[in-house]
Each structure stands twice: as structure tokens, then as C-alpha cells.
């Protein structure tokens, strides 16, 4: 279909029905079928397998599953969009927060936001990346994290399509790659010193391997050239969002510091991403 300025944003139910009609591999669609709909979220057919994040954190995810998710995103991005409207992306609080919102934050979140707001170069880059990701002509899922991927018998499928809309493919890949990194870094629990450094290296090694498998499969299946600088910024923003989410439940611990440091680095220095995004 031709997308125009007047194209209406489809309801989530419509998007899921559309996605459930697109196969990534024989018999495996982009999304589970809709079994019920009303004024709220659509009810989807039950998928008995666990979410991909649980598999990754438990060490049970396979390279075939990661490649399937990458092919799913490439298939999604190549499909004729079902409607209009910008993708709704997870947004970091780059601007000053209203007093009521600030009062509702945990102390660790306030500390992290204070650090973000104290770095004007980071804020400027973050805002620019956010704007670029939502300006595009491909249909994006909008929240393609591993916890929104369920692993069915035939292969993974995407759920939670309420953020879907038009944007850049780097938006979905940034969410996915950021969550692949998070799924390993969130497990860090070694004490300080050499053991902690070795644990961090091992976690980053596993996560980097997962990212490379995904990006290689996406490029093999897709036909759009990815902007490495924009992808670096998208992954960086995803990691900062994960740091802020974790900060709502914990102190300024090692995982929060690691996520925030990596996220900041990828936003400000895309050259760091090129050390990750190399052939698998």
C-alpha cells in the first residue's frame, strides 16, 4: 500500500492480524494469531515456549533462534506497511522532568538522570538519534527486545505490537541488540577484582557473539543498508534505558554502572560499535 500523510495509525489488533499473516519460514508467522479482541489489548493464541530473554539468560537460546528473529525483522521491514504513523520508541528523559514525575523516581534513577542531564553532548546526541530513528518508511515493531519474543515449536514470534509504526530499521535492531547485551550483563554478580573483570569479559564475549549472529542473518535476509552510526546510537540508547529501568529496583550497582557506561560510550563514539559489529 502507499503510505501518505493522511494514513491512519492502525490499532494494535489490526497490526497483529497483519503480522500473523506474514510468514518468516513455512508455517511460522511474524506474530501469534489473534483469538480475541475488545477495547483493550488483543488476546493472542497461547505460545507454550518461553520468551527469548529467559532462554538467553538461562543459556538455552540457540543460534538458529537468533537467526530466525533476525530474519523476522528483515521480513517485517521489507513488508508493505499496514498503515501510517510514526513508530513509538522508548524515550529517555533527555529534557527536564515535571516535579511529579521526578518525585516518583527512585533515588538511583534520580542519580542516573542527573548524570545524563549534566552531559550536554550526550543529551544532544540522544535527542538526534531518537528523532532519526522515528523518521523512516519501514514498518517497525517499536519494542523488539528479547522479552517480546516468544519461542514457539516452529520458531520465535514477536508479541506486544502496540508501539509499531513507520521508522528506521535501526530502531528495531537497536532494541534487539541492546537487549542481547543486557541479557548477559544483568547476570553479573562476581565480587570486585580480577574475578569481576573476567566475568565481565566473558559476558561481553557471549553477548557480542549473539549480536554478530543476529546482524549477519539480518543482512543476509534483508536488502537495506544499515547506518552504523545510527545503529550504535540506537543500541546505546537501549542500554541507557535498561540502566534506568534497573535503577528503579536497586542501588547504583555494578550492572547499572556497566549498562550506563556502555550506553553512553556507544551514543557518543560510534567507533566502539565497530568493534562489536564485525562478521560472526
CATH code assigned at 243: 3.90.1200.10
Task: Report the predicted TM-score, pTM, of the whole model to 2 decimal places.
Answer: 0.93
Is the pLDDT reported for residue 145 higher than 60?
Answer: yes
Tell me, yes or no, whether 280 lies in a domain: no
Tell me, yes or no, whether 279 lies in a domain: no
- The CB density around residue 196, as the number of other CB atoms within 10 Å, is 14
Tell me, yes or no, whether 6 lies in a domain: no
Per-residue model confidence as pLDDT tens digits over 58-81: 999 999 999 999 999 999 999 999
Q: Which three cell numbers stand for residue 47?
A: 505460545
pLDDT at 279: 64
Is the pLDDT reported for residue 1 higher than 50?
Answer: no
Tell me, yes or no, whether 2 lies in a domain: no
Confidence band, pLDDT 50/70/90 cuts, at residue 90? confident
Q: How many domains does the chain have?
A: 1
Tell me, yes or no, whether 56 lies in a domain: yes
Tell me, yes or no, whether 1 lies in a domain: no
Tell me, yes or no, whether 175 lies in a domain: yes
With residues binned 3-state (H G I as helix, E B as strand, rest as coil), the percentages for the chain, rounded to 5, are 55, 10, 40
Domain that holds residue 240: 12-274
Confidence band, pLDDT 50/70/90 cuts, at residue 3? very low
Per-residue model confidence as pLDDT tens digits over 170-197: 999 999 999 999 999 999 987 778 899 9
Per-residue model confidence as pLDDT tens digits over 234-257: 999 999 999 999 999 888 899 999
Is the pLDDT reported for residue 4 higher than 50?
Answer: no
Cα–Cα distance, 128 to 152 (Å, whole number): 37
Tell me, yes or no, whether 25 lies in a domain: yes
Per-residue model confidence as pLDDT tens digits over 21-43: 999 999 999 999 877 777 667 77
Amino acid at each position: 500500500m502507499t503510505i501518505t500523510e493522511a494514513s491512519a495509525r492502525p490499532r494494535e489488533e489490526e497490526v497483529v492480524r497483519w503480522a500473523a499473516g506474514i510468514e518468516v519460514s513455512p508455517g511460522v508467522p511474524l506474530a501469534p494469531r489473534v483469538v480475541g479482541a475488545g477495547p483493550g489489548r488483543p488476546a493472542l493464541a497461547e505460545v507454550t515456549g518461553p520468551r527469548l530473554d529467559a532462554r538467553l539468560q538461562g543459556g538455552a537460546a540457540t543460534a538458529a533462534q537468533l537467526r530466525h528473529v533476525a530474519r523476522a525483522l528483515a521480513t517485517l521491514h521489507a513488508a508493505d506497511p499496514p498503515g501510517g504513523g510514526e513508530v513509538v520508541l522508548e524515550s529517555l528523559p533527555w529534557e527536564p522532568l515535571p516535579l511529579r514525575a521526578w518525585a516518583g523516581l527512585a533515588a538511583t534513577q534520580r542519580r542516573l538522570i542527573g548524570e545524563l542531564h549534566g552531559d550536554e553532548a550526550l543529551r544532544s546526541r540522544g535527542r538526534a538519534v531518537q528523532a532519526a530513528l522515528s523518521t523512516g518508511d519501514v514498518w517497525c515493531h517499536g519494542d523488539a527486545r528479547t522479552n517480546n519474543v516468544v519461542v514457539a515449536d516452529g520458531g520465535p514470534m514477536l508479541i506486544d505490537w502496540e508501539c509499531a509504526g513507520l521508522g528506521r530499521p535501526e530502531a528495531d535492531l537497536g532494541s534487539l541488540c541492546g537487549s542481547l547485551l543486557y541479557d548477559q550483563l544483568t547476570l553479573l554478580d562476581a565480587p570486585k577484582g580480577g574475578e569481576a573483570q573476567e566475568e565481565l569479559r566473558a559476558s561481553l564475549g557471549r553477548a557480542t557473539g549473539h549480536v554478530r549472529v543476529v546482524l549477519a542473518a539480518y543482512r543476509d535476509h534483508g536488502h537495506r543498508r544499515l547506518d552504523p552510526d545510527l545503529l550504535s546510537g540506537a543500541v546505546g540508547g537501549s542500554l541507557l534505558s535498561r540502566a534506568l529501568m534497573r535503577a528503579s529496583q536497586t542501588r547504583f550497582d555494578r550492572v547499572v554502572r556497566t549498562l550506563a557506561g556502555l550506553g553512553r560510550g556507544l551514543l557518543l563514539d560510534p567507533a566502539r560499535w565497530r568493534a562489536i559489529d564485525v562478521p560472526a
